[in-house]
Amino acid sequence: MMTDTALTVGLETFTHFEDRLQQMINQGSLTLMLSIGFRTGLFEVLGSVDAATCEEIAARAGLQTRYVEDWLTVMHTGGILEYDPLFQTYRLPLEQAALLLQRGGTHSYATSVQWVSLSGKLEDEIVSCFRAGGPLPADLLTQLQSQLLEDHSVSIMNGLFKHVLPIIPSLIMQLCEGSDVLELGCGSGQTLIELARTFPASRFVGYDSSAFLIDKARRSADDEQLENVTFIQRDLAEIHAIEAFDLIMAFDVLQDQSRPIRVLDQVFTALRPEGTFLMQDLARSRHREINLQHPLAALLYSISCLRSMAITEPDQSADSSRWCQEMALQTLEEIGFTAIDVHALPHDLVSDYLIARKPGSPAS
């Protein structure tokens, strides 16, 4: 028999959780609207003016006023924007602008919120995977991810040049002088095309398993008339190159592979002596208690779940299901890489950046 105290505690827990559910629903709706604000350029417009009316904001963004009005109301309700009822103007405070517009080298929250909307686009397919098993339909996730990256290509390139490349000593000088570079999982080629344009003395190759994305990358390179970049459709576990590259990059692709250990083994073989491997990976530990301390822990696990459904051959290897920072470091060391470093960079809260060097000789 339940006591009055137990009933009171139960009611308090019930009420508390109901409040949390209401907050989650509201925040989920706000997150979707944040994503729309990033993709339509509304935040960029708001960041460029002190205060403006709905009509002025819509005109600057080239959008429909009636929809912008609803969006602005959501942003004001969610505490993102300030509203002056006298002048009927909206304002993006400097503190919010610093985070939403990546000013001062802050994390790309634009990309983070769009992972939520990306998952929404895939909800029917995700439900099917839960019921019948994976994988997600071929190319669907990669195409959506590529679109997400293209929507923020400018901010991603800023992060690459400001934060990522400088963590490798003398790399920019080597690219200026001329190096051979391979990117695994190059998608539609945005990163390599920018690098090829910036460093004309270097030669760049991109591999991706998606025929759709490789075709798109080739068209973009042709439009730019770049002769120092090549795109090839290829399984990333079948690089088939021996000491051909000075630098190999893999941005956010290892966890998507059914055989990540084989991919890293192929990377080691394809690098020249003293060559460098640069890998961006989800900042996930094998220890749950460490992951739960992350400020975006729920997003971290959501991304991990989504990507596990994209693996086309999950039964061939257990590597992908166990993939984490500890396993990546252990594998790199066992394969033969040296000087392995892990970097957490301010523009990307959900990723680790690993640098590993191939020894110069067997005796190194």
Residue of 33, 252, 284 whose CA lies nearest to 146: 252
Q: What is the DSSP letter of 136?
A: P
The first and second tokens of residue 211, run together, are 């025929």
pLDDT in tens, 265-309: 999 999 999 999 999 998 888 888 888 888 888 888 887 887 777
Sequence-separated (6 or more) residues with CB below 8 Å from residue 288:
none
**Residue 6, Cβ neighbours under 10 Å: how many?**
10
- 3-class secondary structure, 354: strand
* Alpha carbon 339 to its chain's center: 25
pLDDT in tens, 41-86: 999 999 999 999 999 999 999 999 999 999 999 999 999 999 999 9
CATH 1.10.10.10 range(s) for the chain read 4-100
User: At residue 91, does pLDDT exceed 80?
Assistant: yes
* Residue whose pair of structure tokens reads 């576990």 in the numeric block: 237
Q: What top-level class would CATH report for the domain 109-357? A: alpha beta
The first and second tokens of residue 247, run together, are 């630098």
The Cα-based distances of 307 to 126, 150, 242, 300 in angstroms read 11, 19, 30, 11
- Picking from 132-136, 226-230, 266-270, 356-360, which range would have the lowest pLDDT averaged per residue? 132-136
Domain formed by 4-100, architecture:
Orthogonal Bundle (1.10)
CATH 3.40.50.150 range(s) for the chain read 109-357
Confidence of residue 1 (pLDDT cuts 50, 70, 90): low
